[in-house]
Amino acid sequence: RDGLAFPALALAEREAGQRARDSGVAWVGITNGHHAGAMGLPVRRLAGQGLVALAFSNSPAAMPVAGGRRPLLGTNPVAAAFRAATRRRW
């Protein structure tokens, strides 16, 4: 409980990728974890396998929305990746 989420995230990435390839869609969740790092890394790896990947996380309010004054958002709320037609990176 409340441990680093890296091992759980690695397992979730493997399971989601395999299940999505097998059935066309997959959804995995991690609960009672702590820091999971940059959520864009696993979704990017899944996109490299030809999958569309989304990751969402919750965290305490740490920063305001654009133009805001009080913290409202966590530091890593959403990550998304999908394969592009070209290899151009932004």
Kindly report the pTM of this predicted structure: 0.75
Beta bridge pairs of residue 59: none
Query: Does residue 73 contact residue 52 with C-beta atoms inside 8 Å?
Result: no
Q: Give the integer Cα–Cα distance in Å for 89 and 7.
A: 28
pLDDT in tens, 48-79: 999 999 998 888 899 999 999 999 988 767 89
Q: Is residue 16 classed exposed, middle or buried when 0-12, 13-18 and 19+ CB atoms within 10 A define those classes?
A: buried
- Domains in the chain: boundaries: 6-81
pLDDT of residue 89: 63
Structure tokens given for 60: 């305490």
Confidence of residue 90 (pLDDT cuts 50, 70, 90): low
Beta bridge pairs of residue 73: 63
pLDDT in tens, 1-24: 777 888 999 999 999 999 999 999
C-alpha 11, offset from chain centre: 13
